[in-house]
Amino acid sequence: MKNLKIKITEAVATFKSGRFLEAEDLTKKLISSNPKVAFLYNLMGIILYEQKEVEKALEFYKKGITIDPDFAEIYNNLGLLYANNNLGADKAESYYKKSLSINSKNPETYNNLGSLYKSLDKYEEAISC
C-alpha cells in the first residue's frame, strides 16, 4: 500500500506539472494493477477532463462510483463536468447535493453549487452555499 501511495503521489505531481499525457499513462498503469481503487478513477477523470475528453472523463467517474458509491469527490467532479459543459444544470445540482450528503464539510462543493445557483439566477440559494 505504501508503494501505491508513492505512485499515486507521482501521478498527481505529474498532472499538476501539466504533463497530462504522462499522468494519464501513469494512472492507466495504476488502474490496471489496482482496479478496485476509486481514487484512481477520479484522478483519471480529472486528467481526461483537463484534456477536454469529457465523455471519457465521464466514463471513469462513473466507474469510480461503481467501486465506491460513497466517494464524495467524484460526485463533485461530475457536477463540475455537467455544469461546465452545459450537460444539464439539474444533473449538476444533483451530483453536488449527493457529494454534500456524503461529505458536508467540503467547501469546494458548496462553492461549486453556489456558482451553479448564481448562473441560474438563484441568488438566495447561491448565498446560502
As a whole number of angstroms, the longest Cα–Cα distance in the chain is 47
pLDDT value of residue 1? 58
pLDDT tens digits, 69-124 = 999 999 999 999 999 998 999 999 999 999 999 999 999 999 999 999 999 999 99
* Average pLDDT for the chain: 95
CB 78 within 8 A of CB 61: yes
Task: Extract the C-alpha cell encoding 117.
Answer: 445557483
Burial of 124 from C-beta contacts in 10 A (0-12 / 13-18 / 19+): exposed
CA distance linking residue 63 with residue 84, whole number of Å: 21
Percent of the chain with pLDDT over 90: 96
pLDDT value of residue 86? 86
